[in-house]
Structure 1
């Protein structure tokens, strides 16, 4: 699969006249709890020739490929990536810290991580993860009870807990997040058993509700409702523009 991913990225560069500056794995494989049939969610950031950015016309800023078998590939232009990163995008924070990287321009990645360190907004991160966790909890409550839904709820719930406590982006790897936020005990054993079931079997197979996880989640949702954050302004546009110009000049 690694070879196929590299060939796909090279084909994207050729067909779209772009340069892929960074490509990584996103989703369950990056989080560390992929199933046997999980997709490869490849995400990338690309740059077009300088003339593209000098036009007043609105240009498409994403490249999306049809999902073929288990390969899901799409990417964002650097202008879109920087704009979203300025707003504290949790998605981009995860991309930039993915443990699985397929391609990287070292200088570009350092620049993006620099911007990410300046633009991380705890309130934005928290609401991103907390809202996702609530949606997963609602799906479980509506009867979609399977290992995948539990895993997705736990990841986003623990991430929200992390942000509430540390005010920083959470670890991407679920096992690190779990170790830091849950420690040990019977609940961890239940979570580990659930993830093992997800990894080895059909992650969407209906299972019995896991009472220990349900009780833990309900208690945390109630506690997190009371979390408040100080207002933090977006990163100033001048800083983003300066980094953007450096990237264009380096091309």
Structure 2
């Protein structure tokens, strides 16, 4: 599959005349709880050539390939990605923490990663995750019979919100690390055991497999959602965003052979 992904990335660069700076696995494979039939969700960040950024009418800033089998590939232009970074977009930040990386250009992505940490807003990140958990709980966990993965789609943002509350900063992407560092081995022992049991079954079952409610997990979710409702986090100061413009400028020139001849990306 990695060879297929790399071939698709090279084809995208040739067809769209772009340079892919970063590509990773998102979704359940990146979170670490994929089912045997889970899709491969490949996400990437790319940079266009200089003329693309100098037109009056902005161009499309997303590249999407038709889903083929279990392979789903799409990516964002660097300017779009930096705009989302300015808003502390958690999806983008999770990409940077994916354990499965297909492509990474060292110098620009080193700066990109550092800026993502620097401009992260704890309040925006917390609000995103707490709202996502509340929405997923309301939409997917109200029946007596629920899909295994829907519990994880509530637990993961809930624990990410707890992470930001307790140690302001970008939470890890992998669910196991997130749970290990936000739950307490003694106080939450029964909950941890139930989550581990859920994970074991989910990773052996199909994506659509269901089960009756898991009472311990359900009770934890309700209590955590209630806490989020009455105790929102307080916003911490965030530095200015001027360095994002500098990264865009430098990377476009670096990756456009006609704009700066002799400098390879």
TM-score by length of 2: 0.90
- Name the CA shift for 1:220/1:200 in 2 (closer, same or farther; >3 Å): same
Residue 212 of structure 1 corresponds to 216
Residue 131 of structure 1 corresponds to 131
- Name the CA shift for 1:53/1:235 in 2 (closer, same or farther; >3 Å): farther
**Structure 1 residues 75-154: aligned runs within 5 Å:** 75-138=75-138, 139-142=140-143, 145-154=146-155
In 1, the alpha carbon distance for the partners of 2:52 and 2:75 equals 17
Residue 168 of structure 1 corresponds to 169
Residue 203 of structure 1 corresponds to 207
In 2, the alpha carbon distance for the partners of 1:189 and 1:241 equals 47
Residue 194 of structure 2 corresponds to 190
- Name the CA shift for 1:144/1:53 in 2 (closer, same or farther; >3 Å): farther
Instruction: Verify: 1:59 aligned to 2:55, yes or no.
Output: no
1:35-63 deviation per Cα after TM superposition (whole angstroms, max 9, x unaligned): 00111110000011111111122110000
Deviation at 1:237, TM superposition (A): 4.2
In 2, the alpha carbon distance for the partners of 1:149 and 1:70 equals 20
In 2, the alpha carbon distance for the partners of 1:116 and 1:180 equals 21
- Name the CA shift for 1:229/1:201 in 2 (closer, same or farther; >3 Å): closer
1:171-199 deviation per Cα after TM superposition (whole angstroms, max 9, x unaligned): 11110111111233121111111111111
In 2, the alpha carbon distance for the partners of 1:232 and 1:178 equals 24
TM-score by length of 1: 0.95
Number of aligned residues: 251
Deviation at 1:10, TM superposition (A): 0.6
In 2, the alpha carbon distance for the partners of 1:236 and 1:180 equals 30
In 2, the alpha carbon distance for the partners of 1:189 and 1:125 equals 28
- Name the CA shift for 1:232/1:33 in 2 (closer, same or farther; >3 Å): same
Q: Is the 8 A contact 2:144 2:212 kept in 1?
A: no
In 1, the alpha carbon distance for the partners of 2:78 and 2:159 equals 30
Q: Is the 8 A contact 2:119 2:241 kept in 1?
A: no
Q: Is the 8 A contact 1:96 1:109 kept in 2?
A: no
Structure 2 residues not aligned, in runs of 5+: 256-265
Structure 1 residues not aligned, in runs of 5+: none
Residue 30 of structure 1 corresponds to 30
Q: Is the 8 A contact 1:197 1:203 kept in 2?
A: no
In 2, the alpha carbon distance for the partners of 1:88 and 1:206 equals 34
- Name the CA shift for 1:230/1:45 in 2 (closer, same or farther; >3 Å): same
Q: CA RMSD in A?
A: 1.5
